[in-house]
């Protein structure tokens, strides 16, 4: 709460309640935001297994941040007079992109994550974004526009996740806001940051619940009051891009780059298969995703197939991961799959050891991430910078 006050300098509620249902049948990982509360379902062991301050450390901060981003400040197109009007979701890269960013930020600033854990989490976000082959056909803006169609993906299983990239306005949106913050810091010599935009855009008088709507232009205008720049061009270029390259400029401008090595990342589990061989399979061997352009895809492997044998032996997820970890250059692995009763055998490259994502310092550049992740709340909160339109 203190870290949120240090960012926004006001609260748009008289009282806030976390409504948390902890159990194995309550939709673990789900969260719904309201102006003065959130309705969140978590696993039964959420509070006593360290999950609240580790892998799911951003969940409650994310929903809390929605009181400002999404509830108080809401896109005009998402503020309908009645249920007969369609919801226009084009600004979800702000509504959810900013909130995702805030969830990660508050998790680190409030101590749920250490600075190292925060970097590891952002490395996972960057790696997932970099693995999204669907960016060559589907721009980020479309992932927001098409929510009325793709929203069911949140509640049900779907295949080809890296090709469909249904909800990328969350994580990729967070990366865009990280880059926006780095640009503000660069252009103002460190005198201003994304916090200044957040305070100006989401702050206000506070004290009670309310709604203040905005348009895309309002976002750009406020950014320009913090630091003049072609913000419209910046976001529109990235929102409409069909480049295969992930937008990792925020990390690089902050002095860090995405790298891969065999050292485990505590936040990455089954996804390491995707980064290693371009295939992701669950504990029972069912393949959920295949990277377009990778060797499994070229061999004809598709989501929905179930790996039943590896090199002639029954599938065991842990043993398969160990096999990949020990693989040498040029080594191959034979996968026997079952799909609707049809058995097939595929031979693919086993990679060259496991590839876990991490962030690595870029020599000779300023480190903007470490101070950004550090606690900002003080006994006396510094008031926000007055933005009068001057540079």
User: 174-199, pLDDT tens digit by residue?
Assistant: 999 999 999 999 999 999 999 999 99
* DSSP code string of 58-108: THHHHHHHTTTBTTTEEEGGG--SSTTSPPP-TTHHHHHHHHHHHHHHHHH
Confidence class for position 391, pLDDT limits 50, 70, 90: very low
Query: What pLDDT does 52 receive?
Result: 65
Query: What pLDDT does 204 receive?
Result: 86
Please determine, for residue 390, whether its predicted confidence score (pLDDT) is greater than 50.
no
Rounded percentage of the chain residues whose pLDDT exceeds 90: 79
CATH for 263-349 (2.60.40.10, 3.90.25.10, 2.30.42.10, 3.10.20.30):
2.30.42.10
Determine the average pLDDT of the residues in 22-28. 75
Please determine, for residue 13, whether its predicted confidence score (pLDDT) is greater than 60.
yes
Please determine, for residue 356, whether its predicted confidence score (pLDDT) is greater than 60.
yes
Query: What pLDDT does 45 receive?
Result: 85
pLDDT tens by residue, 254-302: 999 999 999 999 999 889 999 999 999 999 999 999 999 899 999 999 9
Query: What pLDDT does 158 receive?
Result: 75
Please determine, for residue 379, whether its predicted confidence score (pLDDT) is greater than 70.
no
CA distance 106 to 69: 14
Query: What pLDDT does 153 receive?
Result: 66
Confidence class for position 28, pLDDT limits 50, 70, 90: low
H-helix segments, the chain: 2-8, 59-65, 92-109, 115-130, 140-145, 147-150, 152-155, 161-164, 171-187, 194-202, 216-226, 231-240, 249-253, 271-277, 295-299, 317-326, 369-373
Burial 238-247 (b: 16+ CB within 10 A, else e): bbeeeeeebb
- Look at 32 and 62; give whichever has higher pLDDT: 62
151-155, 246-250, 308-312, 313-317: the lowest-pLDDT one: 151-155
Decide: 144 and 172 in contact? Cβ < 8 Å: no
Query: What pLDDT does 208 receive?
Result: 85
pLDDT tens by residue, 253-262: 999 999 999 9
Query: What pLDDT does 8 receive?
Result: 96
Query: What pLDDT does 166 receive?
Result: 87
Mean pLDDT in the chain?
92
Report domain extents, the chain. 2-256+362-373, 263-349
Please determine, for residue 50, whether its predicted confidence score (pLDDT) is greater than 80.
no
The CATH-assigned architecture of domain 2-256+362-373 is Orthogonal Bundle (1.10)
Confidence class for position 94, pLDDT limits 50, 70, 90: very high
Decide: 49 and 179 in contact? Cβ < 8 Å: no
Decide: 223 and 197 in contact? Cβ < 8 Å: yes
């Amino acid at each position: 709460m203190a870290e949120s006050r240090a960012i926004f300098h006001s609260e748009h509620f008289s009282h806030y309640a976390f409504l948390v249902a902890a159990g194995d049948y309550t939709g673990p990982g789900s969260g719904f935001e309201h102006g003065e509360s959130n309705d969140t379902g978590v696993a039964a062991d959420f509070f006593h297994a360290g999950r609240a301050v580790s892998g799911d450390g951003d969940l409650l901060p994310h929903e809390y941040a929605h009181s400002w981003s999404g509830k108080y400040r809401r896109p005009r197109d998402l503020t309908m007079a009645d249920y007969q009007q369609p919801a226009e979701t084009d600004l979800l890269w702000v509504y959810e992109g900013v909130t995702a960013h805030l969830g990660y930020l508050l998790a680190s600033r409030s101590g749920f994550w250490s600075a190292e854990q925060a970097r590891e989490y952002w490395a996972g976000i960057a790696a997932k974004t970099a693995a999204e082959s669907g960016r060559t056909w589907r721009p980020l803006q479309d992932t927001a526009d098409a929510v009325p169609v793709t929203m069911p993906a949140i509640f049900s299983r779907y295949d080809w996740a890296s090709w469909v990239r249904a909800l990328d306005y969350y994580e990729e949106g967070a990366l865009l806001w990280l880059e926006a913050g780095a640009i503000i810091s660069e252009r103002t010599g460190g005198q201003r940051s994304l916090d200044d935009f957040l305070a100006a855009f989401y702050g206000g008088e506070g004290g009670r619940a309310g709604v203040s709507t905005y348009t895309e232009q309002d976002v750009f205008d406020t950014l320009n009051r913090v630091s003049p720049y072609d913000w419209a061009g910046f976001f529109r270029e990235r929102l409409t891009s069909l480049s295969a390259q992930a937008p990792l400029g925020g990390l690089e401008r902050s002095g860090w780059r995405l790298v891969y090595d065999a050292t485990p990342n505590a936040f990455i589990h089954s996804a390491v298969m995707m980064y290693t061989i371009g295939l992701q399979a669950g504990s029972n061997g069912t393949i959920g995703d295949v990277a377009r352009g990778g060797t499994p895809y070229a061999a004809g492997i598709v989501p929905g197939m179930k790996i039943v044998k590896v090199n002639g032996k029954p599938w065991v997820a842990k043993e398969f991961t160990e096999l990949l970890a020990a693989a040498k250059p040029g080594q191959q692995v034979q996968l026997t799959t079952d799909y609707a009763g049809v058995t097939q055998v595929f031979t693919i490259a086993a990679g060259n050891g496991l590839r876990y994502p991490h962030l690595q310092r870029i020599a000779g550049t300023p480190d903007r991430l470490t101070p950004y992740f550090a606690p900002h709340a003080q006994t006396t909160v510094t008031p926000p910078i007055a933005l009068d339109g001057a540079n």
